[in-house]
């Protein structure tokens, strides 16, 4: 279905998603935000963000198919539940389940964390950067669980992005790995880049990006180890590649550990983002949040700590 019209003077000065929701009262703002993010709404022949302010005489072109349209009720149905650990007017901390993609990508167009965040917070999210991941300041791999930081406005997003760039955000993970590191604690300092032979993998590359991971052995037994990990940098698959490099691949991480580390029927990694600490971008308050290890860790922890 194609709609094409111009903005009248009396309607100018409001966000495009709000404007469209008023023009088409049977469609929600969430519906329009989704179409806008898919570039199905053009203004003067160019894609825009949901925050775009319409101007008098703007030419708006909207195209969608009713059979594919996603109304508000369907978005709520598709969006996974969101576990909000903390929330104020500027930031939020949420807990991502393993198996949940952070934002839409080829092969994962719905049922993402970004959808859950959008469904829960609505317009109370920053709109900097990628429209598919409004408010999301950093990411976790699909099969990793744990804490994620959300920016609820652009100012908070900018300040948090600066903090991540300066390595001022504490990110701790816990993992169950096959084998035991040679030392009880240490630093893995190895640059990472896209694997030239398999583009979906990362690997240690002399010309790659600077990457550093600190580790501490919390417990070790029966050929397994329970590790505490702290990121200095946050490269794609960083912990996974670094641990595989020291011959301690994460359990269930076949991509970097091969079939020998497969221990679960599902793809969830034995990797969890368990702690997040940062300076509040507006108040300056020091905030710290922790997340308990999911149940998939229980059996392996019992094996490690069994006396």
Q: How many other C-beta atoms can be found within 10 angstroms of the C-beta atom of residue 278?
A: 22
Confidence of residue 188 (pLDDT cuts 50, 70, 90): very high
Tell me if 303 sits within 8 A of 221, measured CB to CB: yes
Distance CA 29, CA 18 (A): 6
Strand partners, 136: 150
Q: What pLDDT score was predicted for residue 72?
A: 46
User: How many residues are listed for the chain in this entry?
Assistant: 307
Residue in 234, 181, 188 with CA at minimum distance from that of residue 214: 188
pLDDT, tens digit, for every residue of 124-157?
999 886 677 889 999 899 999 999 999 999 999 9
The answer regarding whether domain 2-70 maps to CATH 3.60.20.10 reads no
Measured at the CA of 165, the angle between CA 164 and CA 167, to 5 degrees, comes to 60
In which band, very low, low, confident or very high, does the pLDDT at 67 lie, cut at 50, 70 and 90?
very low
In 3D space, the residue among 175, 173, 291, 172 whose CA is nearest the CA of residue 225 turns out to be 175
Greatest mean pLDDT among 69-83, 105-119, 291-305 = 291-305
- Rounded average pLDDT over 36-64: 86
Candidate list 141, 143, 253, 268, residue with the active-site label = 141
| Closest of 225, 1, 37 to residue 115, by C-alpha | 37
Structure confidence at residue 71 (pLDDT): 45
CA 297 to CA 270: how far, in whole Å? 7
Residues 193/209, Cβ–Cβ less than 8 Å: yes
CA distance 266 to 272: 15
Percent of the chain with pLDDT over 90: 62
CATH code of the region 79-305: 3.30.2350.10
Q: What is the CA radius of gyration of the chain?
A: 22
| Side-chain half-sphere CA neighbours of 198 within 13 A | 7
* Residue-range domain boundaries for the chain: 2-70, 79-305
Domains 2-70 and 79-305 fall in the same CATH topology: no
Tens of pLDDT, residue by residue over 259-302, are 999 998 888 999 999 999 999 999 999 999 999 999 999 999 99
Q: What does the H/E/C string look like for the chain? A: CEEEEECCHHHCCCEHHHHHHHHCCCCCHHHHHHHHHCCCEEECCEECCCCCECCCCCEEEEECCCCCCCCHHHHHHHCCCCEEEEECCCEEEEEECCCCCCCCECCECCCCHHHHHHHHHCCCCCCCCCHHHCCECCCCCCCCEEEEEEECCHHHHHHHHHHHHCCCCEEEEEEEEECCCCCCEEEEECCEEECCCCCCCEEECCCCECCEEEEEEEEEECCEEEEEEEECCCCCCHHHHHHHHCCCCECCCHHHHCHHHCCCCCCCCCEEEEEEEEECCCCCCEEEEECCCCHHHHHHHHHHHCC
Residue 123 falls in the annotated catalytic set: no
**271-279 and 286-290 strand pairing:** antiparallel
């Amino acid at each position: 279905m194609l709609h094409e019209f111009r903005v009248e003077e009396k309607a100018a000065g409001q966000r495009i998603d709000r404007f469209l929701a008023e023009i088409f009262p049977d469609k929600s703002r969430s519906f329009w935000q989704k179409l806008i993010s898919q570039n199905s709404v053009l203004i003067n022949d160019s894609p825009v963000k949901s925050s775009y302010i319409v101007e008098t005489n703007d030419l708006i072109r909207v195209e969608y198919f009713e059979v594919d349209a996603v109304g508000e009720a369907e978005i709520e149905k598709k969006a996974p539940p969101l576990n909000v650990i903390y929330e104020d007017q500027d930031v939020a901390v949420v807990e991502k389940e393993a198996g949940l993609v952070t934002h839409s990508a080829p092969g994962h167009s719905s049922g993402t964390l970004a959808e859950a965040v959008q469904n829960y917070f609505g317009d109370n999210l920053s709109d900097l950067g990628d429209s598919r991941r409004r408010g999301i300041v950093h990411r976790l791999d699909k099969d990793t669980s744990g804490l994620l930081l959300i920016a609820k406005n652009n100012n908070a997003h900018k300040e948090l992005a600066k903090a991540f760039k300066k390595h001022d955000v504490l990110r701790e993970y816990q993992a169950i790995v096959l084998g035991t590191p040679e030392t009880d604690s240490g630093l893995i300092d190895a640059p990472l880049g896209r694997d030239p032979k398999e583009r979906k993998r990362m690997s240690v590359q002399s010309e790659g990006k600077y990457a550093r991971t600190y580790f501490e052995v919390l417990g070790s037994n029966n050929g397994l180890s329970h590790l505490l990990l702290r990121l200095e940098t946050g490269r794609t698959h960083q912990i996974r590649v670094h641990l595989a490099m020291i011959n301690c691949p994460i359990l269930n991480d076949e991509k970097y550990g091969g079939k020998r580390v497969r221990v679960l029927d599902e793809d969830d990694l034995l990797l969890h983002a368990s702690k997040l600490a940062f300076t509040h971008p507006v108040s300056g308050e020091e905030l710290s949040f922790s997340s308990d290890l999911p149940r998939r860790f229980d059996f392996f922890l019992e094996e490690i700590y069994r006396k």
